[in-house]
């Protein structure tokens, strides 16, 4: 089980990336929303899409939910 967060600032392609605790890229984000504790990133991205329709998993820490 991991803690997941969504970046409140969209990337250049419009995606709001979802990261789990311990991800290097999460430490670089200043504005993020806590999503909760999940077994993997797939339900975390589903929850993120409630706030940001265009959400995607981080390719490094959440590849199971990355659609790029």
Instruction: For residue 49, name the pLDDT band (cuts at 50, 70, 90).
Output: very high
How high is the pLDDT of residue 68?
79
Mean pLDDT of 49-59: 97
Average pLDDT, the chain: 96
Give, in degrees to the nearest 5, the angle at Cα 14 between 37 and 65. 35
Model confidence at 32, pLDDT cuts 50, 70, 90, reads very high
Nearest residue to 67 (alpha-carbon basis) of 26, 4, 13, 22: 13
Please give the Cα distance from 68 to 56 (Å, whole number). 8
What distance in Å separates the CA atoms of residue 1 and residue 13, rounded to the nearest whole number? Answer: 29
- pLDDT confidence of residue 21: 97
d(CA 42, CA 56): 9
Can you say how many angstroms the Cα of residue 48 is from the centroid of all Cα atoms in its chain? 7
Domains of the chain by residue range: 2-37+49-65
């Amino acid at each position: 089980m991991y803690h997941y967060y969504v970046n409140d600032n969209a990337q250049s392609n419009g995606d709001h990336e979802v990261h789990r605790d311990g991800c290097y890229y999460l430490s670089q984000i200043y504005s993020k929303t806590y999503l909760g504790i999940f077994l993997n990133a797939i339900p975390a991205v589903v929850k993120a899409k409630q706030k940001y329709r265009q959400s995607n998993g981080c390719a490094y820490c959440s590849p199971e939910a990355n659609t790029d």
